[in-house]
Chain A
Amino acid sequence: MKKRFVFRFSPDTVKKPLMSYLVREFNIDVNIWNADISYGREGKLVVELEGDENSIEKGLAYARSIGVNCSPSIKELQFNREKCINCGSCTSVCFYGALQINQESWELNYDPEQCVVCGLCIKACPLQLFSISREEE
């Protein structure tokens, strides 16, 4: 199982080495996608957790037990596929391979799994077909 979560830390919980604990104790692979966090103040981590479902549930339960708020990240790229003209402008700014033009059909492929929600495609699309969904609070 691979899923994205948002971890919110209070000024106290930010002091706890949560990520390394998840890796060591629950055998979860942690990929940090976005971090706005520093010692002594509130902070936020967007992470992708990979491991078996049970381990991830236990890891999340542990995080909550020490006071870290965690919720599934639903902040993702919204793409209005229907109106896409398959120009390819967005692909020139997508450095993660989420947006690619099919070399045969020249149609745009969007792979949400690869998307890091950097948002560069929002400005690059001349038809304004991309937006970012709001994150679950």
Chain B
Amino acid sequence: MKTIEQINEKIRNGSAVVFTAEEVSRMAETMTPAEIAEEVDVVTTGTFGPMCSSGAFINFGHYNPPIRMEEISLNDVPIFAGVAAVDAYIGATSESAFDETYGGAHIIEALIAGKDVKLKARAKGTDCYPTKEVQTVINKNTVNEFYLFNPRNAYQNYSVAVNSQKHSIYTYMGSLMPHMENATYSTSGELSPLLNDPELRTIGIGTRIFLGGTQGFVSWYGTQFNTQKPKNKYGIPTSNAATLAVIGNAKEMSTEYIRAAYFEKYGVSIFIGIGIPIPVLDEDVAKAVSIRNCQIETSVVDYGLEDKPVIGIVNYGELRSGTIRVQGKEIKTGSLSSLEKARKIAEELKKWIKNGEFLLSQPVEMMPKNSSVKGLEQRS
């Protein structure tokens, strides 16, 4: 048994033993959980995938004479103005009035890159905020705060998408060819943060994480947080389950780890890079971080049908091989999240910890143990 404080002491004196989740999965082929718990202090995870439920708060600073901004756009992308005079929220999926392939995600990426962005704001004008219109140019150095606050990121597992229909469909899971000719998936498997801590024993509110190239925090449980999903014999939920809300200073982030995206006929989204360190406190944690791709299963969902039925179960070893077999049919697979970037994130986080630049944090509060997801009913 180790405590987070003991591990932090080792990080401070440079003696902490840190491996990525992939490295530990390989070690687990010859070592027992007890041996791993003895030898390893921290396991780093990583993911870099499209996470629509993301955005950034921004404070523009007060104009003179002041304006209570009620309608705001950045490069013609409408952003949420319903918070105080010069605070706003740039939703990643908000789209430009003139170009559906350009949206809030692109604004966030441009600001992170240090680029200028055109601000337009309107107001009705009040006694204390008399200005009715402002048009100017901002960048991350001219504004006060600019921080990501993403309501739902880092999904613990996600379903594989296929399409049984006669025509192609275009979804947030990418282009799905007819007659189940292809399948897309979006999780970094054995490197994925919440798949390495399936019970969320070590990850909670307040956990310090890698977010977009800088240090951020888990701020809350993510929206649609679900603990009720069926689990396989290794304790892994076999479809989208837990999620995280995360927060971090976008001014310090890098476009290497935050990238805008557009999914054909769906809309704008954003790739978010997240890495979470897992303290190897005991044998149970060691066992959890030893999980291998072939042990992580996920559901195959037919996006071509309205009720999106589950039509099979596959594992990440199969998905990564390039083909899966579902209902007797061999289907070509492609990933939406980048394993190459996820590896970079896990390696970067490992480096920070080894250099003593990143300390682990004890969660302030653990995640809910019983949480399910409601649908929206028609009521009157």
Say which residue of B174, B262, B263, B338 sits within 8 Å of A106 (CB atoms).
Answer: B338
B142 to chain A, nearest CB (A): 26
List, in ascending order, chain A residues with CB within 8 A of B335's CB: 87-89, 91, 101
Stretch at the interface among A14-22, A61-69, A121-129: A121-129
Q: Are B170 and A92 in contact (CB under 8 A)?
A: no
Contact mask A81-117 → B, CB, 8 Å, 1/0? 0000111111111010000010101110000000000
Q: Are A85 and B320 in contact (CB under 8 A)?
A: no
Q: Are A124 and B174 in contact (CB under 8 A)?
A: yes
CA distance A101 to B183 in the complex (A): 15
B144 to chain A, nearest CB (A): 30
| Known contacts A107-B340, A123-B170; A90/B263 CB under 8 A | no
Q: Are B182 and A92 in contact (CB under 8 A)?
A: yes
Say which residue of B177, B181, B334, B343 sits within 8 Å of A88 (CB atoms).
Answer: B334
| Known contacts A92-B182, A95-B332, A128-B262; A85/B174 CB under 8 A | no
CA distance A36 to B364 in the complex (A): 66
Contact mask B136-171 → A, CB, 8 Å, 1/0? 000000000000000000000000000000000010
> How many residues on the A side are at the interface (Cβ–Cβ under 8 A)?
21
Q: Are B338 and A87 in contact (CB under 8 A)?
A: yes
Least CB separation from A99: chain B residue = B334
CA distance A124 to B168 in the complex (A): 11
List, in ascending order, chain A residues with CB within 8 A of B259's CB: 85, 127
List, in ascending order, chain A residues with CB within 8 A of B260's CB: 127
List, in ascending order, chain B residues with CB within 8 A of A127's CB: 259-262
CA distance A124 to B51 in the complex (A): 17
List, in ascending order, chain A residues with CB within 8 A of B261's CB: 126-127
A88 to chain B, nearest CB (A): 4
A120 in contact (CB, < 8 A): yes
Contact mask B101-112 → A, CB, 8 Å, 1/0? 100000000000
Main secondary structure of the interface of A (DSSP, over half): loop
B20 in contact (CB, < 8 A): no
Q: Are A93 and B334 in contact (CB under 8 A)?
A: yes
List, in ascending order, chain A residues with CB within 8 A of B264's CB: 123-124
B54 to chain A, nearest CB (A): 14
| Known contacts A126-B269, A128-B101, A128-B262; A92/B343 CB under 8 A | no
| Known contacts A87-B337, A88-B338, A92-B184; A103/B320 CB under 8 A | yes
B108 to chain A, nearest CB (A): 15
List, in ascending order, chain A residues with CB within 8 A of B50's CB: 126
Contact mask B255-281 → A, CB, 8 Å, 1/0? 000011111100001010000000000
Interface residue ranges of B301-351 to A (CB < 8 Å): 320, 322, 332-341, 343
CA distance A128 to B264 in the complex (A): 9
Q: Are A92 and B183 in contact (CB under 8 A)?
A: yes
Interface residues of B (CB under 8 A from A): 48-50, 101, 170, 174-175, 177, 181-184, 259-264, 269, 271, 320, 322, 332-341, 343
